[in-house]
Chains A and B, each alone.
Chain A
Amino acid sequence: MSGAAFVTLIAASSGLFAIGLFGLLLRRTVILQLVSLELMLAAGGFAFVVAGARHGGAEGQGMFVLVLTVAAAEAAVALVLFLRLRALADSADSDAFDRLRG
Chain B
Amino acid sequence: MILVGLILLPLIGGLALPLVARFAPGAEDRPVRLATLGVMAAQAALAVAALFGAGAGDGRWLALHRTPWASGVGIELHLAGDGLSLGLVTLTAALGAVSTLASWREIRRRVVLFHLCICGTVTAATGVFLSFDLLLFVFFWEGMLVPAFILIALYGHGARERSALKFLIYNQVGGLALIAAVLAMGAGASPPVFDAFALAEVERSPAAALWLLLGMSAAFLVKLPAVPVHGWLPDAHTDAPTAGSILLAGVLLKTGAYGLYRFPPMLFPEAMVQVAPYAMALGLAGILYGGLLACGQTDAKRLIAYTSVSHMGFVLMGIFALNPLARTGAAVEMFAHAFSASALFLVVGALHARLGTHRMDALGGLQATAPRLAGGFAFFAAAALAMPGTANFVGEALVILGTFQVAWPLGLGAAAALVLSVVYATLLLRNTVFGEPGTRPTEDADLREAAAMLALAAAVLVVGLQPQMLIELLTPAQEAVGRALEAASGGG
Direct chain A–B contact by Cβ atoms under 8 Å: no
A interface with B by C-beta (< 8 Å): none
